[in-house]
Structure 1
């Protein structure tokens, strides 16, 4: 299965009165196999800074290819079952906010 997730617009404020830095505009593709592995591919847009990204999942997140994830690069999540969810969250570098940039439900 191949599913795309486009930059989400759900923003969580962290109590600051000033506007938070904008989340990166990025397209992420999710591809699941029958062994419980999901490959997340950066399919275009801005680079993702490893220090600003949290991948929430009950599975195990693989190694990043470097300090940033660029278009065409990928990360795998293993140990997933049907019904599990992967949520990719961006945290602003100044700590003023966060945004969910992608959600994927494993089928």
Structure 2
């Protein structure tokens, strides 16, 4: 047997690479199918909207103005402004449209900064399964 002939023989390389590629393709395909069969694909697409809010507190009248400054337009029915320290804790946007877009604002009354009141802008998914806090004051 020639030693030089042993090093130049590449016959077994192609089948090994082919088998490795087939196994990798099978694993990736199985992962993609499992994601959609188990319903994980739906959960990924349902995320909270990205929106920014600013807060302007007036200490003489104990009013807090919450303004949507930028980000996605929100459906009025999915957003609640919650004041932690009042009996009427849920304030719904009182604008003219059914959407809250950049520049729209709502005034929340009976907010006392010295009493430690906390106001949250809460988004709730229309189906009611998920919710997220978009902004918090202070």
Q: Quick one: distance in 1 between partners of 2:78 and 2:68?
A: 15
Compute the TM-score of the two structures, normalised by the length of structure 2: 0.58
Which residue is equivalent to 1:67?
A: 98
Indicate yes or no: 2:55 matched with 1:30: yes
- Relative to its length, the structure with more helix (as a share) is 2
> Which has the bigger relative contact order, CA under 8 A and spacing at least 6?
1
- Structure 1: tracts of 5 or more residues without a match: 1-16
For the residue of structure 2 that corresponds to 1:65, the secondary structure is coil
For the residue of structure 2 that corresponds to 1:89, the secondary structure is strand
- Relative to its length, the structure with more strand (as a share) is 1
Q: Quick one: distance in 1 between partners of 2:68 and 2:96?
A: 12
User: What is the deviation of 1:48?
Assistant: 1.4
For the residue of structure 2 that corresponds to 1:100, the secondary structure is strand
Which residue is equivalent to 2:70?
A: 44
RMSD value over aligned CA atoms? 2.2
For the residue of structure 2 that corresponds to 1:19, the secondary structure is helix
Q: Quick one: distance in 2 between partners of 1:39 and 1:66?
A: 18
